[in-house]
Structure 1
C-alpha cells in the first residue's frame, strides 16, 4: 500500500519547525494534484507559501531531481519558476509565485476549465509560453543536469504502454491496430531529444490580469516530470486542454521564437493527445484510482475506430 501524504497539520508543523511562521488558520488544502498534496498558507509577514508532500513513493526521487533542476534553470528561462527553500523526501516548501493558474482540471472528467481565453486578443499567454519552451528545448541536457536519451526511447516507452494496456484492460476495436501502425511508421517521430518540462498544462502555468484586460504569463510550475524527451511532449497537455486552435497558435508562436517543428510533428502531437488516455488508465491501475481508469476507458471508446 502506498504511504499517504502528510496531513495539513503535519505540513504546517513541518513548516513552523523549519522557520516559516505560518499564520494559524491560513492553511488551505489543494487536492487536485496527482502526485502531491499541496497546502497554501501565509506567514506572519504576509508572504504566501506552498507546502507539499508526495502521495506516492515513486515521485520522491523525481522530486529530489526537480530540486536540483530548479537550481540549475534559475535565470535561464524567460519566466519565473519555483525557488525551493526547504526540501526533504516528505516535505517541500517554497514562496508562492505571483499569478493564478490559467485553468483547472475537473478531477472526475479530467476536462479543463480555462480561467482565460488562451487565444483571445487580450491574451499574452501562448506566445510567451512558446518562448519559454523554445528556450528550454534549446538547452544542452547537461546544462539542465539531465541525462541524455536517444530518440528511440520515447517510441519504445509507448510500445510498452500499448502492450500493457492491451493485456490489462484491452482496447476498442481498431485502436490497437492504429497505434501499432503509428509505432511502426517513422513519420512524425523525433529524430532528436531535448530537455522538456513534461507536464505543461493550464494548471501549471501562472497568469496575471493586467490593467486594460490584458492577460500575461507569469510563471511555470511543477517540474517533477522534467526529463530529456521528445519536444512534442510539451505540447500534448495544451492540445488536450484547448484543442486544435490552442495547439496551432502555440506551434506558430514556437516557430516564430526559433523552435524547430519537424515534419509530421503536429500530427504526432495529436496522436500523443489521444494516447494520453492510455497513460491515464495505466496510472489509475498503478495507483488504485478506479475513477481514473473508468474515465480513461470512456474517453478511449469516445475516440472510436480510426479511419
Structure 2
C-alpha cells in the first residue's frame, strides 16, 4: 500500500477527485498539486513517504517552512491541502490515521488587497489606443473587468453566449462552476459593443471561436497575456503602485463600498460563497478614510 501511495500518479488521482467532486478551478488544483509535491519531496529527503506520515512530521515540515521564510498564508494553504489529502486517504481506506487532525493553522493577519484610486482607475482606462484592434480589445476587457468585478480567469473565459448586449449583463461561471449574472455597466457595454463591431473579426482570422476576447492568434487569451497588457497600460499611465492580476476587481469592490453599496450586494456581484470573504473590503474602505483624514484634516 505504501508503495502505491508514494507514486505521483496517486496525487494525480486525488487532484482528479477534487476536480470531479467539487469542480475546482485549474489554478486551485495546480496549487494543491504543487503543495503535495513539495511536501512529498521533503519527505523523501527525510526517508519518509506520504502514507507513513505522523503528526510530528508535519510539525517538522512547518518548522522547515518557517525557517525558510515561507509566508503564513501559503503555509495555511498547505495545511488545507494536506488535510484534504489525508481525509481522502481515510475515505479510500488507504490509511487508518489522519496525521493532520491536531495540527493548528498559523494565525493570519488581515491581508488588505491592493486597489487603485478612482482617478488612477480612470487614467488606466484611458490608456488603450482606440485606433488599433489590440487597443480596442484591451479597452473592452479592462472596462468589463472593472465594471463587473470579474476574476481574470472569468474574464478570459467568457463565451459569446454568456453576454447579452440588449440586457447589459454577462453570465459568469465562477469558482466551483457557480453561475452569476453581473451587470456590465454603460461604459463597459459601449466598449464591448465597439470591440465586437470593430476588432473581433480581425482577431478571428476566418476561424471559428466562441471565446469573446481573442488573442492575436484568434485563440483564448492567457491570464499572463492579459496581465502583461494591464501592466503595460499602468506603466504608460505612470501608476507606480503595486498591482496584481486582481487589482481592478479589488478597485471595483472598494469603489462600490465607498459609494454606499452594501456587503450582501457586493458578495453577490463578486461571487463570494462566504460573506466573511467580502468583508475584507470594509477594512480597505476604512483605511482609505483614515488616510484622507490624516492628509486633509488640520488635526490629522
For Structure 1 versus Structure 2, the TM-score category normalised by the shorter chain is under 0.3
Q: Which has the larger radius of gyration?
A: 2
More strand by share: 1
